[in-house]
Amino acid sequence: DVKVTQSSRYLVKRTGEKVFLECVQDMDHENMFWYRQDPGLGLRLIYFSYDVKMKEKGDIPEGYSVSREKKERFSLILESASTNQTSMYLCASRRTGALYGYTFGSGTRLTVV
Amino acid sequence: GQQLNQSPQSMFIQEGEDVSMNCTSSSIFNTWLWYKQDPGEGPVLLIALYKAGELTSNGRLTAQFGITRKDSFLNISASIPSDVGIYFCAGSGSGSARQLTFGSGTQLTVLP
């Protein structure tokens, strides 16, 4: 069964910490995405990557960066965590051209205190 | 960016009832998708629609791509307890590198 695995289900971090959220997919997909999910706001795109070492800003990139050094791994980085970054973070991947073929991970619920 | 308005935001229904939810867009979409998110999991694709006017079923689920290409609805017939979750619409236009725009979600609760 194809999978997108997010390394942590729950994280609690302190304000100002640098936070790494890791995502790994085993489907050899070219495209990977990071979304954040907040009640009443749906899923908002933070960053995405078309291929290794490539990245594009989504709708809400401020306060975040990403890294894609290997095809299967896409990391989301919070340079200096703030309380307004408390949220559910979802990683997804898809094969290029397969618009409907988004596979999501189970999410990481991050709390910044 | 593109905006999707999804309604209702939440629904409480009795088991066996039918459910309807919809999404409207401020711009034309070429593709409409409906996802379901179970508690503690990521969203999973339910139905994909690619043509204006298209009506597609998946078991008890039926979805339609509006003829104006600015709206879509999802119906669930004879709801059961495992229908509980958050339902998201998502759409893609010709711009923005064909990325998906998601609605705000409909939280469905099925009462026994």
Question: pLDDT tens, B74-85?
Answer: 999 999 999 999
The answer to whether the Cβ–Cβ distance between B42 and A43 falls below 8 Å is no
Residue B85: half-sphere exposure toward Cβ, Cα within 13 Å:
19
Strands B4-7 and A64-70: unpaired
Cβ contact A99:A34 at 8 Å: no
Query: Could you say which DSSP state residue B96 is in?
Result: G
Token pair for A2: 């194809």
Mutant choice from A102, A103, A106, A108 vs B, greatest count of B C-beta within 10 A:
A102
What pLDDT, on a 0 to 100 scale, did the predictor assign at position B4? 87
Q: Please name the residue that has the structure tokens 């590198």.
A: B97
Q: What is the mean pLDDT of chain B?
A: 91
What pLDDT, on a 0 to 100 scale, did the predictor assign at position A10? 95
- Choice between B40 and B8, residue whose per-residue pLDDT is larger: B8
Q: Indicate if the pLDDT at residue B33 is higher than 60.
A: yes
Sort out which chain B residues have CB atoms less than 8 A from A59's CB and list them: 1
Looking at chain B, the whole-number percentage of residues with pLDDT higher than 90 is 77
The answer to whether the Cβ–Cβ distance between B40 and A107 falls below 8 Å is yes
- What parts of chain A have a pLDDT lower than 50? none
What pLDDT, on a 0 to 100 scale, did the predictor assign at position B2? 63
Pure H helices in A2-71 = none
Mean pLDDT of B31-35: 93
What pLDDT, on a 0 to 100 scale, did the predictor assign at position B81? 95
Q: Indicate if the pLDDT at residue B95 is higher than 60.
A: no
Q: Which residues contact B24 (CB under 8 A, 6 or more apart)?
A: B4, B5, B70, B71
Mean pLDDT of B17-24: 96
The rounded radius of gyration (Å) of the Cα atoms in chain A is 13
Sort out which chain A residues have CB atoms less than 8 A from B6's CB and list them: 42
